[in-house]
Amino acid sequence: MRGPRNTPSPAAGAFDTTTPAVVLKLDSNPLHHGGLGVIRGLGRLGVPVYGVCEDPLAPAAHSRYLHGRWQWRAGAGTEPDIVDGLARIAERLGGPTVVLPTDDAGAILLAERAAELHPWLLFPRPPADLPRKLAGKDSLHRLCRAHGVPGPVTETVTTWPRARAFAASAGYPLVAKLAAPWLRRGSRVASTSLVHTPNQLAELHRAAGQPIVLQEFLPRAAEEPGRGQDWFLHGYLADEPARSPVCTGVKERSYPSSAGLTSFGRWVVNDEIERSAIELLRSTGFRGIVDMDWRWDPRDDRYKLLDCNPRLGAQFRLFSDWAGIDLAVAAYLELTGQRVPNIARCPERRFVVENYDPLAAFDGWRSGRLGVREWVDSLRGAEEPAWFARDDLAPFGLMCLRMGWRALSRRIPLPRRARRARPPEFHTGRAGNRQETSARPPNRTNRVPS
């Protein structure tokens, strides 16, 4: 496993990086590695990056590339609270600021409350209701049917008899998803689960607290050279196609298996998925960052859309080229009115999530799909780890400590304290070695770029 070198990106100094960027996350998940990828990718180019962190010991809060952080459990407040908190952030930074959401809740709020947000905040402006439709599992299914995009057999259920009837028709295993996963505050139910038995389905239905979307499980395919089964697409759609990079990859391993996040993936070009995705997104008028999951169905030789998220996917750093250009950089440049260079394709580039891939590999070994030597060999070729970086070691160390604490606390149940919503509280980051009031050039105006 190789980490990024301790050298500036070749693109550093090639762009105007004076506009700061804020990584926005409303979901309470200190071990989210996507936000850390944004901080490192933009920070290595010289962009002053700030983050919203729910915990002072969140690994991303201690990146050497973070200029400052707001300790803020934003998701615990109401939408007006969040709008007010974002206004405080904009006024603290004192001028135009790019906002990059890393969860669905943040992307939905930016779209639906755009007219109320501070004019200094720069973010994509899709149709206000579209991010919610794309992120909702039931509404995405209806959107796909309306636009002729293939997907698995799907039904939204609110009662146990309907859930049982769908399971009897589709058979086990089946996939169960929360219809609006960004609303699962305080719930321990996973947003996506692979269900093997009626008892599992009954327990999930009881605990969900919202409608459940049930889908048939697309059958596993025999290995074919050059043909992966699980795919993801990450892209940034601007008004001009030439400024809209789109990349595809193969999900080699996931955790939980077959229903979870990518723990090991490869950059593989898939023109068919790219065409289908762009056609759907353009026809709906979508603008901004998107993350999609597709699965190849061997029964009819078609790629079927499983999920669509209107924000950065956690593994987006897989699609980073030799110059350090990735989708977060592309969004930053487009939102600040600069030229967006092409992302040079790096076929077979690999990405690994160190805290989850051993668990995914163990599941593969137990089921006979993955050998120990095969797993070790794959890690030797991983160019982009989610956590480890030789020029930024603190987040990796904190991730290891938090994973150890998580394992311990699951064995020893501890009382969970209710958290009150509080305004964002600013703390200087490792990269912010001077007062925020003097962080910007003195001759810079506080106008939003046209």
Mind listing the pLDDT tens digit for each residue in 316-364? 999 999 999 999 999 999 999 999 999 999 988 999 999 999 999 999 9
Do the domain assignments include residue 16?
A: no
Domain end among 216, 236, 270: 216
Domain end among 169, 198, 216: 216
Q: Would you call 298 exposed, middle or buried from its count of C-beta atoms within 10 A (0-12, 13-18, 19+)?
A: middle
Do the domain assignments include residue 427?
A: yes
Pair (165, 287) in one structural domain: no
What pLDDT sits at residue 437? Answer: 42
Pair (112, 126) in one structural domain: yes
User: Nearest 5°: phi and psi at 159?
Assistant: -125, 155
What is the arrangement of strands in the sheet containing 121-122, beginning at the earlier edge strand? 121-122, 97-101, 21-24, 49-53, 66-71, 425-428
DSSP 8-state class, residue 8 = -
**Neighbouring C-beta atoms of residue 18, cutoff 10 Å:** 15
Measured between alpha carbons, how far is residue 187 from residues 144, 190, 207 in Å?
A: 28, 8, 8
CB 291 within 8 A of CB 309: yes
Beta strands 261-267 and 384-385 are unpaired
Q: Which residues of the chain have pLDDT under 70?
A: 1-8, 185-186, 222-227, 411, 413-421, 433-450
Query: C-alpha angle 63/65/71, rounded to 5°?
Result: 60
Structure tokens at 150: 């293939």
Q: How far apart are alpha carbons 104 and 260 in whole angstroms?
A: 16
Pair (110, 43) in one structural domain: yes
Do the domain assignments include residue 6?
A: no
What pLDDT sits at residue 449? Answer: 37
What pLDDT sits at residue 240? Answer: 87
Q: For the chain, what is the domain count? A: 2
Domain end among 216, 239, 270: 216
Pair (425, 341) in one structural domain: yes
Say what the pTM is.
0.90
**Neighbouring C-beta atoms of residue 206, cutoff 10 Å:** 10
Do the domain assignments include residue 84?
A: yes
Pair (212, 229) in one structural domain: no
Pair (57, 170) in one structural domain: no
Do the domain assignments include residue 7?
A: no
What pLDDT sits at residue 3? Answer: 53
Q: How far apart are alpha carbons 126 and 106 in whole angstroms?
A: 14
Pair (259, 335) in one structural domain: yes
**How many residues does the structure list for the chain?**
450
Do the domain assignments include residue 348?
A: yes
Which has the closest alpha carbon to 319: 279, 275, 349, 358? 349
Pair (408, 365) in one structural domain: yes
Coil, helix or strand for 214?
strand
Pair (354, 339) in one structural domain: yes
Pair (338, 433) in one structural domain: yes
Pair (328, 370) in one structural domain: yes
Pair (301, 193) in one structural domain: no
User: pLDDT tens across 145-174, in order?
Assistant: 999 999 999 999 999 999 999 999 999 999
Domain that holds residue 198: 153-216
Do the domain assignments include residue 5?
A: no
CATH code for the domain of 207:
3.30.1490.20
